[in-house]
Amino acid sequence: MSAKTKDKVATAVIVTLAGIIVLIMAGLLGFILVRGLGHVSFHFLTSAPQTIKEGGGIGPQLFNSLFLLVLTMIITVPLGLGAGIYMSEYAKPGKITDTIRLIVEVLSSFPSIVVGLFGLLVIVNTFGLGFSLFSGALALTVFNLPLMVRITEQGMSGVPAAQKEASLALGISKWKTIKSIMLPISMPVILTGTILAAGRVFGEAAALLFTAGMSSPRLDFTNWNPLSPTSPLNPFRPAETLAVHIWKINSEGLAPDAPQIAAGASAVLILTVLIFNLLARWVGRLMLKKFTAAK
């Protein structure tokens, strides 16, 4: 068999495998959306769930997911940026730095259920924060921080060495170079990774079962006092998220329309995660285009 024939065969095999994977994913996605979108409405997205009656919605769970996402990213992004910048620009090569990178890689591969059990033992019980949005945000920070560190480090490492060296040669301090030269250049990569990390937070369930809880108090959306137990902005209240709600309905739902509620909630969750991914690609391309035009 000639080299040209081998190349054609290898290409055909790769394209076939890729096509099979795409068909499987498209079929799974289409099944969830077709099964669930018919149950999605404004009432469904804004009303409270029902325990034993028909007609419940996912309003509080959807709000809890969005609020938890904001809390998690407020904690994760500064820590991830700082650690990534340190690992890229300040950490000296050696065994200690290699060990830190190994720990980051190991943490990024931890099952989310293990992170949830860690959050239950340390955050919920040891620190006494109880089942709350804040406990869930801390647990998801542990879950997402390695990804944020790695993305930031890769973004900073992708900055052309000539631009960095030119800035330092002009007498600009190292931190000023990082802040004014390197961060703007690496921002498309960092921002894209941040949006993808946000999508992971929104769809997470296992870690939140043991930290944020599987119930939510009756929320008063006219009360915006963060210290009130019924305020939606109280970060120290239990909060059932959308992903946890789907698991709970499928495992112990008593309402007659529980399968329909679960299907609709799954469709909303899938669409939201898809939006996060598409937004990440769009923002990354837009910022890269602006950077290329400015250059």
DSSP collapsed to 3 states, 85-141: HHHHHHCCCCHHHHHHHHHHHHHHCCCHHHHHHHHHHHHHHHCCCCCCHHHHHHHHH
| Mean pLDDT within 3-30 | 88
Q: Is residue 33 part of a domain?
A: no
Give me the residue label for tokens 């030269």: 181
What is the per-residue pLDDT across 204-224, written as a single tens digit (0 to 9) for each? 888 898 998 888 888 887 888
Q: What is the average pLDDT across 1-29?
A: 87
Both tokens assigned to 107? 């943490």
Q: With contact defined as beta carbons under 8 Å apart, do 212 and 133 qualify? A: yes
Comparing 111 with 137, which gets the higher pLDDT? Answer: 137
> What is the residue range of 217's domain?
40-294
pLDDT attached to residue 145: 87
- In-domain check, residue 25: no
> What is the value of pTM for the model shown?
0.85
User: Does the structure show a pLDDT above 60 at 294?
Assistant: no
Q: Would you say residue 293 has pLDDT above 70? A: no
Q: Count the alpha carbons within 13 Å of 142 in the hemisphere toward its beta carbon.
A: 22
Sign of CA dihedral 70, 72, 74, 80: negative
Q: Is residue 150 part of a domain?
A: yes
When divided into structural domains, the chain yields a total of 1
Instruction: Summarize pLDDT for 57-85 with one digit per residue, the tens.
Output: 888 898 999 899 999 999 999 998 988 88
231/135: higher pLDDT: 135
Chain segment 247-270, per-residue pLDDT in tens: 888 887 677 888 888 889 989 988
* Residue 223: φ, ψ to 5°: -110, 105
pLDDT at 186 over 80: yes
Burial of 251 by CB count in 10 Å (0-12 exposed, 13-18 middle, 19+ buried)? exposed
Considering the chain, what percentage of its residues have pLDDT values greater than 90? 14
Distance, CA of 143 to chain centre? 9
Cβ atoms within 10 Å, residue 117: 17
7 belongs to a structural domain: no
Query: Residue 11 domain-assigned?
Result: no
User: Cβ neighbours of residue 172 under 8 Å, at least 6 residues apart?
Assistant: 180, 181
Residue labelled with tokens 């804004």:
46
Does 18 fall in a domain? no
**Residue pLDDT, tens place only, 149-159:** 888 888 888 88
| Contact between residue 246 and residue 265 where contact means Cβ atoms under 8 Å apart | yes
DSSP 48: P
CATH of the domain at 215: 1.10.3720.10
Gap between the Cα atoms of 152 and 78, Å rounded: 11
pLDDT number for residue 167? 82
Per-residue DSSP letter, 37 = G
CA–CA dist 196, 292 (Å, integer):
23
Mean pLDDT of 140-144: 87
Q: Is residue 10 part of a domain?
A: no
Look at residue 288 in the predicted model and tell me its pLDDT: 66
Give Cβ neighbours of residue 199 (< 8 Å, ≥ 6 apart).
272, 273, 276, 277, 280
- 83's CB contacts (< 8 A; 6+ apart) are 145, 148, 149, 152
**Largest separation between any pair of C-alpha atoms in the chain:** 75
**29 belongs to a structural domain:** no
| Residue 137: per-residue pLDDT | 92
pLDDT tens digit string along 74-132? Answer: 999 999 898 888 888 888 887 888 888 888 777 777 888 888 888 999 999 999 888 99
3-state helix, strand, coil in the chain (%, to 5): 75, 0, 25
- pLDDT for the residue numbered 138: 92
